[in-house]
């Protein structure tokens, strides 16, 4: 999936500084290969992950990358920051500077963070109509009871009104794990949303850990700061 596409003839003409007529001649001579196959149309659309080889010269070859990181506390979800360590700084990956973050986490929030070079894929994660669930484990300052959880669930189902944006959160679910910990499922990611939702009840969030995004589950295999490539099935099914 690519967020940018080009017409084949314009792409080759620009990269090789040749005319469209010259591109057509290369096409007729079957010297243009796309993903290992002979190209047949001048106006064929190519994306950033399309392999383009012209007369043996590689003009473009870029593989899509999808990585999960178990983000530690005190790390900024950014590619650059002059004051703080970023997730890119701690990433053990050769082409890490080609990646962007698909769904940020707050400075002190830990857990599942996704990074990719595929803009179309990351956009799908953030589209409201896709309603991609994010599940968090939330540690709270004030003790909980089943009755309190019922109040939380009623409010979160109806939506919590957030100021100054003057918006109401989309329906969320909350499950009590113990007397200070809940599992919260939301399908959006507004600024400090989880902290503000519980702040509505004057209950401070002490720790916040993201467990999953869509069908991608962090699990227990990765230590804080470690990464792994997503499985093909995880990439394909994340928004389903």
The Cα–Cα gap between 50 and 31 comes to: 16
Separation between Cα atoms, residue 136 and residue 16, nearest integer Å: 50
Strand residues in 84-180 grouped as ranges (E): 100-101, 110-116, 134-140, 161-162, 167-168, 173-178
Number of helices and strands in the chain (H, E): 7, 17
Q: How many CB atoms lie within 10 A of CB 93?
A: 15
Nearest residue to 157 via CA among 145, 140, 174, 144: 174
DSSP line for 40-109: --TT-EEETT--EEETTEEEE-----EEEEEEPTT-BSSS--SSS-BHHHH---TTGGG-EESS---TT-
Place of tokens 């070859």: 61
Mapped onto helix, strand or coil, the DSSP state of residue 28 is helix
Q: What is the Cα–Cα distance from 106 to 174, expressed in whole angstroms?
A: 20
Q: Where in the sequence numbering do the catalytic residues fall?
A: 106
The pair phi, psi for residue 60, each rounded to 5°, is -155, 130
């Amino acid at each position: 999936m690519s967020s940018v596409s080009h017409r084949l003839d314009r792409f080759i003409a620009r990269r090789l500084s040749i005319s469209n007529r010259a591109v057509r001649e290369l096409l007729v001579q079957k010297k243009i290969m796309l993903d290992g196959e002979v190209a047949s149309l001048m106006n064929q659309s190519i994306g950033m992950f399309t392999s383009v080889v012209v007369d043996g010269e590689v003009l473009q070859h870029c593989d899509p990358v999808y990585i999960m990181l178990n983000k530690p506390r005190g790390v900024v979800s950014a590619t650059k920051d002059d004051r703080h360590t970023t997730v890119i700084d701690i990433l053990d990956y050769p082409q890490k500077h080609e990646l962007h973050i698909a769904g940020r986490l707050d400075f002190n929030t830990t857990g599942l963070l996704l990074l990719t070079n595929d803009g179309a894929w990351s956009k799908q994660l953030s589209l409201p109509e896709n309603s991609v669930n994010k599940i968090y484990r939330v540690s709270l300052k004030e003790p909980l009871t089943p009755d309190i959880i019922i109040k939380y669930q009623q409010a979160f189902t109806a939506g919590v009104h957030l100021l100054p944006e003057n918006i109401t959160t989309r329906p969320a679910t909350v499950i009590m794990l113990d007397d200070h910990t809940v599992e919260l499922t939301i399908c959006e990611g507004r600024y400090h949303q989880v902290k503000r939702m519980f702040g509505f009840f004057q209950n401070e969030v002490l720790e916040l850990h993201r467990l999953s995004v869509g069908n991608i589950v962090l699990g227990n295999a990765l230590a804080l700061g470690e990464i792994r490539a997503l499985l093909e099935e995880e990439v394909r099914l994340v928004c389903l």
